[in-house]
């Protein structure tokens, strides 16, 4: 028997004032996208902004449906749109933020398991890290070097051969 462990490393910022201009703008785009979310059931609006290597920013937001689980998360909306409209163009950063009409979202919001899996697929496809910038409504921001840091032992195309 062997015992293994995993450690998550990230950088924490007190506010967006500590970010570089590009990252601060990406978070603003994610916040604006969250305002356009369709979240009448959970009242939890999530926005995502993806910076592509060609400089284009793609946004997405969660889209709920009364027939759960027919909705889709902000990160997948944005990534699937980016892939369909800009095939072959790498995503280099993803900002995610959220707010709720029911309660304050204080902690940075991380992608759900399904979104982690989808984002990790694109990291593998392009053999390139996708940096994550995560925030709640305000306050602390987490920066992670890549999606794979949030999804160790991911299921990949290697598992299908």
| Residues labelled as active-site residues | 75
Q: Which ranges of the chain would DSSP assign to H, the alpha helix?
A: 21-35, 74-85, 113-126
- In order, the DSSP letters of 2-16 are ---------EEESSG
State the helix-helix crossing angle for 113-126 and 74-85, rounded to 10 degrees.
30
**Rounded Cα–Cα distance for residues 119 and 110 (Å):** 12
67 CB-contact burial (10 Å; exposed 0-12 / middle 13-18 / buried 19+):
exposed
> Which run of H or of E encompasses 110?
none
Assign 3-class secondary structure to 75-98.
HHHHHHHHHHHCCCCCEEEEEEEE
Q: Which residue has the tokens 């990406």?
A: 26
């Amino acid at each position: 028997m062997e015992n293994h462990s995993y450690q998550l490393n990230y950088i924490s910022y007190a506010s967006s004032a500590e970010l570089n201009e590009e990252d601060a703008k990406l978070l603003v785009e994610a916040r604006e996208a969250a305002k356009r979310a369709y979240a009448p059931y959970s009242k939890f609006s999530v926005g995502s902004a993806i910076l592509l290597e060609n400089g284009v920013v793609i946004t997405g937001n969660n889209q709920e449906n009364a027939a759960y689980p027919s909705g889709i998360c902000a990160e997948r909306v944005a990534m699937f749109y980016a892939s369909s409209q800009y095939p072959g163009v790498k995503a280099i950063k993803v900002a995610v933020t959220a707010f709720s009409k029911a309660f304050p979202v204080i902690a940075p919001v991380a992608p759900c398991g399904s979104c982690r899996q989808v984002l990790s697929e694109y990291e593998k496809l392009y053999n390139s890290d996708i940096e994550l910038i995560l925030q709640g409504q305000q306050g602390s921001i987490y920066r992670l070097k890549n999606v794979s840091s949030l999804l160790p032992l991911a299921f990949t195309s290697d598992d299908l051969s």
